[in-house]
Amino acid sequence: MNIKQDMKNIGARIANGNKVKTTSGIDADAIRELAALLAETGLTEVEIEHNGARIRVARHAIQTAAPQPGAASAPTAAETPARPKGPHPGAVPSPMVGTVYVAPEPGKPPFVSIGDTVKEGDTLFIVEAMKTMNPIAAPRGGTVSEICVSDAQPVEFGQTLLIIA
């Protein structure tokens, strides 16, 4: 199927008045064709304009899972606790852009693992920025509950590196 040609044909049909209109003047066939084009291409939105006539079709991907027979129902919005906005309170953010390393050198064990207890000032990672190795120290003591990066991964300023519970 030639998408470019399809778009031209739909646009020409809209502009020339060769369309099946509903009582509101909307070309239902053109909308159906554009919706099929969205499904075929995986796009979420398409808009065409031809000789001053314009039509736009958009879809929003909402994925829901059908309840399984015999399975307990999911908690409703009222039962689900509200998740706080922003970073996790125990998150340790990257203070710079660079490449994170989880061990002092290749082949050595990582500075920390999930479940490790750390105290304030312990080295958690190294972030290399502009050929300089910068140790990232624990801002507070606690237990490492999640490591959010992998070795030699590029990181952004403020990106969560790990979570201390």
* pTM attached to this predicted model: 0.49
Residue 25 lies in a domain: yes
Q: Are residues 53 and 103 in the same domain?
A: no
Q: What is the pLDDT of residue 45?
A: 75
Q: What is the pLDDT of residue 17?
A: 56
Q: How many domains does the chain have?
A: 2
DSSP 80-120: SPPPPSSS-TTEEE-SSSEEEESSSSTTSPPS--TT-EE-T
Cβ atoms 150, 110 nearer than 8 A: no
Mean local confidence (pLDDT), 7-12: 66
Q: Are residues 102 and 159 in the same domain?
A: yes
The answer to whether residue 4 scores a pLDDT higher than 90 is: no
Q: Are residues 113 and 154 in the same domain?
A: yes
Q: What is the pLDDT of residue 33?
A: 80
The single-letter code of the amino acid at 106 is P
pLDDT tens profile 14-31: 656 554 454 555 667 777
Q: Give ∠ CA 78-83-89 in degrees, rounded to 5.
A: 150
Q: Give ∠ CA 96-104-92 in degrees, rounded to 5.
A: 40
Domain extent for 34: 3-58
Residue 79 lies in a domain: no
Task: Give, rounded to a whole angstrom, the gap between the first and last alpha carbons of the chain.
Answer: 54
Q: What is the pLDDT of residue 147?
A: 94
Residue entry with tokens 């340790």 = 92
Cβ atoms 44, 61 nearer than 8 A: yes
* CB within 8 Å of 25: residues ≥ 6 apart: none
Q: Are residues 96 and 147 in the same domain?
A: yes
Q: What is the pLDDT of residue 31?
A: 75
The answer to whether residue 91 scores a pLDDT higher than 80 is: yes
Q: What is the pLDDT of residue 85?
A: 66
Q: What is the pLDDT of residue 55?
A: 75
Count of C-beta atoms within a 10 Å radius of residue 55: 19
